Structure 1
Amino acid sequence: MSGNLFAELKRRKVIKVGAVYLVSAWVAVQAASIVLPAFDAPPWALRVFILMALLGFPIALVLTWVLDLTPEGMRLDASPVGNKRVIAVALGLAALAVGWYFVGQPSVRPGQAVVDAKPAPIVDDKSIAVLAFTDLSPKHDQEYFSDGMSEEILNALAQIRDLRVAGRTSSFSYKGRNVDLRTIGQALGVAHVLEGSVRTQGNRVRITAQLVRSKDGMHLWSKQFDGDLSDVFKLQDQIAHAIADALQVTLIGEQKSQLVAESTTSPEAYQLYLRATDVMNKRDYAHAKEAIAWLEQAIALDPKFARAHARLALAQMTVNVRDPDRGRQAEQHARAAMAMDPTLAEPVYALGLELWRMERRFTEARTYLDRAVQMQPQDASAHMYLGQWFIVTGYTKQGIAELDRAIAIDPMLPNAVNWRASQSMYAGDLDKAEMLFTQSDALGLSFAKAGLGEVMRARGDVAAARQLVAATWKQNPTPCGTAGPVDFDTLLAGTIGGDANAQARALKIIDDCLATKPDVVPAWAVVSLMRLHQYSRALALFGGRVSQDDAGIVFRIWSPEDAPMRQLPEFPELARNIGWVDAWERFGPPDACTRVAVRDYRCR
């Protein structure tokens, strides 16, 4: 009977028609999955289309079985066998199709829809990521310029109140990678992506930009902008306004006529500014002095170039340059930039950073950092530096919240990720800390490996901890008077899991260094004394004068591991001497301290 049925299926071409139908239906579903989203069809439309295709399959089989195409036309073809079986199979297939739609889909499964199905994140339609533009200059030696163009457009768009712009570091992390724009949009949580290219030849500039809808990769517009080097600000403004028009965002005040202001009249000064910015963005410490020299040249060409003053102030505070006068110079340039352009947030937080890192004027610094965040709520760096201030003054919870805000704006801001990793480590979440330290290391942060070393130390992997911390300290050496090169391998052999003899050798290295009376207190010396539980010596050394890296020391003081340091009788006096108590009197006691009298705090 089965043999007769199979022969009958072949004769009536049921198998052939079924195969053709399945192939055709699969092609149609693929096409629908592309076309329907492009026309903003609701998600259920594709599911209904698939259901219709599935239900059509058993219908096609039954019709092919019962009908026969003859020269006289279509006619019924009665069969002595198989009618019941074919109809039963068709009904079974139809039941499976209906079951898939009403039961197999999580979105309609009774009592389980919201619990099992993770809702897709809501993406604000007025959101955008600006990718690094491609350098198409003849010699491909203008990458700093093409990066600068896209960064300037990003900064201009970030000023628009109702437009959410992905952070620069996160957007630029896709530079040189062949990643689908839909994937980028999903990863950054934006509805639109701007990509483009810059071609410079002589004094001519051509910028090509494409605005893409990230959910389906559809190009909304593609435009070309031509001009001279002296026209770059006008070209950037034209692109920013074109995007604002396309996304239908509201512009207020002067934004209606100008989103990108002409910050300098000197094309040469602007190119020097972009070169220095490229070094800073990459944390390219090997060229830090060159970056500062370029900014100084830019200011010489145009003394009223406010943004160059602001960038120079930040460079003198953040890049790895050993200049005892850099704090004073940073303050001068920051105040100059603020006077020239009161709308800039960068010199405001640069000044706040200088006041607490170089002068330990914590209360005054907080005023500037708060102002910077209010001026530019979408500036991830402003939130990051405010978060650092909170953490180094003992307000750990507020610091974590501010770092999280910075990372929400720019998830790949290396230093923000690194500081957040440290707080995860101190909270006991070593897996998260390792993940975040690894991320900041991959983003090029030169001292991220030291954080990974601390995670290894917490896990008891002494060898790995020493190796990672040594690699960081050797890459970022600190001065030590005339003591000569520091033997970091011996130092770490004593301070990380070393026995009594190894600890003694480590202490000798510290003593030999301090005996030379270095101009700047080495941060590694203070940290090493803390690791050796020589807390009184560490406090005396740290409290005496500003160190080479106050930030790298202070956040450790508030860690759970170093609680005994905070409980020493001399700790309250140190807190008064370095300016913490002034901040606590103004803003309230920090997380681990209690106010027992005026300007007197006890910490745990």
Structure 2
Amino acid sequence: MNNFFAELRRRNVFRVAGVYTIVGWLIMQVVAVITPALKLPDWVDSFFALAIIVGFPLSMLFAWAFELTPQGVKRTETVSAEESIRAVTGRRLEYAIIIGLMMVGGLIIADRLFPQKNVSDQSAQSLPVAQNMANANTLISEKSIAVLPFEDLSEIGDQRYFSDGIAEEILNALARINGLRVAGRTSSFSFRNSSETLDEISNALRVSHVLDGTVRKQGNKVRISAELSKDSIVIWKENFNGTLEDVFDLQEQIAQSIAKKLEILMEGERLAETLTDNAASYDLFLRGRDLYHTSIKEEDILTSLKLLENAVAIDPNFAEAWAQLGQASLMAPANVSSLDAEIHVKRARDASQKAINLNPTIAYPYAVLGSIKSIQGDQLEAMKYFKRALDLDPNNAYALGNIGLVTAMMGQSKKAAEYLEKAVLLEPARGSYKAYLAVAKRNNDEFDISTQLANQAVDLGYYIAYDTLAWNAYSRGDGDEAVRQMMNLHRELGPQLSPEFGSKALWDTSARAYFKDDQEARKYVVALLEASLKSDIVEVEGVLAGALARHGVYEEFFRNVSQARGNTVALMSIWDSAPRSIELRAHPDFPEFAQSYGMLDYWKIYGWPDKCLPVDNNPTGAETAFKCR
């Protein structure tokens, strides 16, 4: 036996095996990169792997039977000792092994230092700066994960809606696991075309794990490849093959595999629900939901509604499709001016109620019904729906954010900040949550944090936060900066927020009236506001209502704000510490307004606002006497 191994060494068989193994590994790394990049068929990587495995014993036989000489390749038995150069060949093979090992080591080190970045559809927008997304002081739980959009590897590249749908349903399945925090869809999917590393993404989303993958759909066949990473290192990966009929089972397998890898105790319940047995309805649902999430173009919004309507027409028992239709119907009039808001609110209510009747465990329909109640001014009833949604899904950022809004409008700014902070943690890419949290922080006199959040909201494209930046500057005594920030708001949204009062000159006059204490400007603005209210042409909306409060036209504010479209910020802002807000809360008509708007009923159940307390004597017209500071 010793003679046999000695002969193997003499014939350089071991050295050839080392070189073959290293070269084979390097070839597979190249194949792994070019296969998805060139959208080659799935069998390409398998073919190369099989060829390398089959070639190994053949190369060993060749190394045993033949020897390289100056005259070419000869059978080993025919080579004399004088003409043999096997020692020289052995040294060359050793050099090749050393160089190969250095290349392998270099690739491994490069992968650690420069991990693979998630690249997908070039048309999607990435976040401006990942650091803007979340509070860096928030501790990252080991039981937390983000699901990035899965890449579409279909031959034509027209199945992104399907690959996104797969990723979203896996996200929804993971969100059902108690003890696991799952980053929201909007924030996770915003990294579709990001240049951030996986480390930067996980830090921005404040999660310890990142799941990404690919989906290949060919006819009725589906292949899902998923990778779970931590600290930019892949700790689990697997391929799942099936058909459209068992796509929900594939999603379940992936969710269960992730739960097992994260060592989260499961109680045997199914995570990925079977949403529908109708493949056509499911395809329409995915297309409609994808358009809802990715476009605010009028034609796309209308198409999204039509697709969802067709989905429920094919399968009237498809609860998730009804829920999505309700959500899309509620939001559509905000971006499609031709749609009747009242009609679509009713459609949203009916669709959401239908979803609840079919499946009372879905959280979103309750949240949509809560939004409808909040829009209608019934904040007490709205809170019941939002709380129900949160009971069903504690990680529902939409419910958390809306509870924060209602709580802030009711004057409980500290409690509102707690809810909005949770919403921001789940959805750090939603500028709206950061903007509303900035208002809550301003109401709590936390101006530095408020300014930081408002700047982040602006960076994320939520320009209404310029309003908060203006008022924070005014609170610091910088009237010029306050005027500048208010004009930034006009530049981005002025005519859209207030069509009748969209001129730059009027906004500048209004800003100087308050922030620079320009009394002549204030007289002009107040006269214009009062004259406009007497006209039947002007519709009172949120900006106009806010202007009434800020310029001291309190009686008209109390009379009009309840019916004002988009009055959320106006109602939140009456709870800050600005002089006009203090005057408004001390106004004799404020208690009656608080009662008529439902604030008193709300306070009786959820507690008094931060800046008001009940008193014994009752000189007001309200049922319960209180005094505000």
Q: TM-score, normalised by structure 2?
A: 0.69
Aligned-partner residue type, residue 237 of structure 2: W
- Structure 2 match to 1:182: 199
CA distance in 1, matches of 2:472, 2:507: 15
Structure 1, unmatched stretches of 5+, are 1-26, 39-118, 480-484
- Structure 1 match to 2:600: 581
- Structure 2 match to 1:439: 456
Matched, 1:527 2:574: no
- Structure 2 match to 1:297: 310
- Structure 1 match to 2:363: 345
SS at match of 1:560: coil
Counterpart contact for 2:327–2:365, Cα < 8 Å: yes
- From the superposition, tell whether residues 351 and 514 of structure 1 become closer, same or farther in structure 2 (CA, over 3 Å): same
SS at match of 2:342: coil
- Structure 1 match to 2:627: 602
Deviation (angstroms), 1:474? 3.9
CA distance in 1, matches of 2:401, 2:484: 29
* Equivalent residues in 2 for 1:235-254, closer than 5 Å: 235-254=250-269
SS at match of 2:341: coil
SS at match of 2:512: coil
- Structure 2 match to 1:108: none
- From the superposition, tell whether residues 216 and 196 of structure 1 become closer, same or farther in structure 2 (CA, over 3 Å): closer
CA distance in 2, matches of 1:505, 1:273: 53
- From the superposition, tell whether residues 497 and 152 of structure 1 become closer, same or farther in structure 2 (CA, over 3 Å): same
Deviation readout 1:428-477 (Å, 9 max, x if unpaired): 44443333223223334364444445445554225522322213434634
- From the superposition, tell whether residues 432 and 591 of structure 1 become closer, same or farther in structure 2 (CA, over 3 Å): closer
Equivalent of 1:370, from 372, 387, 402?
A: 387
CA distance in 2, matches of 1:355, 1:121: 33
- From the superposition, tell whether residues 442 and 576 of structure 1 become closer, same or farther in structure 2 (CA, over 3 Å): same
CA distance in 2, matches of 1:503, 1:268: 61
CA distance in 2, matches of 1:418, 1:444: 10
- From the superposition, tell whether residues 185 and 504 of structure 1 become closer, same or farther in structure 2 (CA, over 3 Å): same
CA distance in 2, matches of 1:404, 1:261: 30
- From the superposition, tell whether residues 376 and 503 of structure 1 become closer, same or farther in structure 2 (CA, over 3 Å): same
* Equivalent residues in 2 for 1:452-463, closer than 5 Å: 452-455=469-472, 458=475, 459-460=478-479, 461-463=481-483
Deviation readout 1:464-523 (Å, 9 max, x if unpaired): 2232221343463467xxxxx543323312221144554455456545654453696322
Aligned-partner residue type, residue 299 of structure 1: V
Counterpart contact for 1:126–1:162, Cα < 8 Å: yes
Equivalent of 1:333, from 340, 348, 351?
A: 351
CA distance in 2, matches of 1:502, 1:205: 66
Counterpart contact for 2:408–2:440, Cα < 8 Å: no
CA distance in 1, matches of 2:256, 2:561: 51
Aligned-partner residue type, residue 547 of structure 2: S
- Structure 1 match to 2:20: none
Deviation (angstroms), 1:279? 4.6
CA distance in 2, matches of 1:323, 1:369: 22
Show structure 1 runs of 4+ deviating over 6 A: 119-122
CA distance in 1, matches of 2:254, 2:362: 21
- From the superposition, tell whether residues 216 and 500 of structure 1 become closer, same or farther in structure 2 (CA, over 3 Å): closer
CA distance in 2, matches of 1:390, 1:323: 25
Deviation readout 1:368-390 (Å, 9 max, x if unpaired): 22222222112222211111111
CA distance in 1, matches of 2:527, 2:519: 12
Aligned-partner residue type, residue 587 of structure 1: Y
- Structure 1 match to 2:249: 234
Counterpart contact for 2:469–2:482, Cα < 8 Å: no
SS at match of 2:269: helix
Deviation readout 1:18-65 (Å, 9 max, x if unpaired): xxxxxxxxx9xx99x979x99xxxxxxxxxxxxxxxxxxxxxxxxxxx
- Structure 2 match to 1:469: 489
CA distance in 1, matches of 2:482, 2:277: 56
Structure 2, unmatched stretches of 5+, are 1-101, 114-135
Deviation (angstroms), 1:345? 1.0
Equivalent of 1:260, from 253, 256, 272?
A: 272
- Structure 2 match to 1:399: 416
Equivalent of 1:220, from 228, 236, 261?
A: 236
Identity of aligned residues (%): 31
CA distance in 2, matches of 1:465, 1:542: 24
Equivalent of 2:505, from 490, 502, 520?
A: 490
* Equivalent residues in 2 for 1:49-60, closer than 5 Å: none
Deviation (angstroms), 1:244? 2.4
Aligned-partner residue type, residue 393 of structure 1: M
Q: Which moved more, 1:443-452 or 1:193-202?
A: 443-452
Counterpart contact for 1:462–1:497, Cα < 8 Å: no
CA distance in 2, matches of 1:134, 1:453: 42
- Structure 1 match to 2:590: 571
SS at match of 2:212: strand
Matched, 1:274 2:294: no
CA distance in 1, matches of 2:280, 2:190: 28
Aligned-partner residue type, residue 469 of structure 1: L
Counterpart contact for 1:194–1:211, Cα < 8 Å: yes
- Structure 1 match to 2:48: none
Matched, 1:194 2:206: no
Aligned-partner residue type, residue 277 of structure 1: R
Aligned-partner residue type, residue 602 of structure 1: K
CA distance in 2, matches of 1:519, 1:506: 15
- Structure 1 match to 2:129: none
CA distance in 2, matches of 1:177, 1:557: 39
Paired residue total: 483
Deviation readout 1:133-169 (Å, 9 max, x if unpaired): 1233344343333222212111100101133323333
- Structure 2 match to 1:207: 224
Deviation (angstroms), 1:574? 0.8
- From the superposition, tell whether residues 518 and 208 of structure 1 become closer, same or farther in structure 2 (CA, over 3 Å): farther
- Structure 2 match to 1:147: 164
CA distance in 2, matches of 1:571, 1:551: 17
- Structure 2 match to 1:52: none
Matched, 1:409 2:421: no
CA distance in 2, matches of 1:512, 1:519: 10
- From the superposition, tell whether residues 233 and 476 of structure 1 become closer, same or farther in structure 2 (CA, over 3 Å): farther
Q: TM-score, normalised by structure 1?
A: 0.71
SS at match of 2:411: coil
CA distance in 2, matches of 1:449, 1:275: 35
Deviation readout 1:389-409 (Å, 9 max, x if unpaired): 111111111111111222233
Deviation (angstroms), 1:579? 1.2
SS at match of 1:198: strand
Aligned-partner residue type, residue 310 of structure 1: A
Aligned-partner residue type, residue 486 of structure 2: R
Deviation (angstroms), 1:537? 1.6
CA distance in 2, matches of 1:201, 1:491: 59
Counterpart contact for 1:490–1:506, Cα < 8 Å: no
SS at match of 1:533: coil
CA distance in 2, matches of 1:555, 1:247: 41
- Structure 2 match to 1:58: none
- From the superposition, tell whether residues 129 and 517 of structure 1 become closer, same or farther in structure 2 (CA, over 3 Å): same
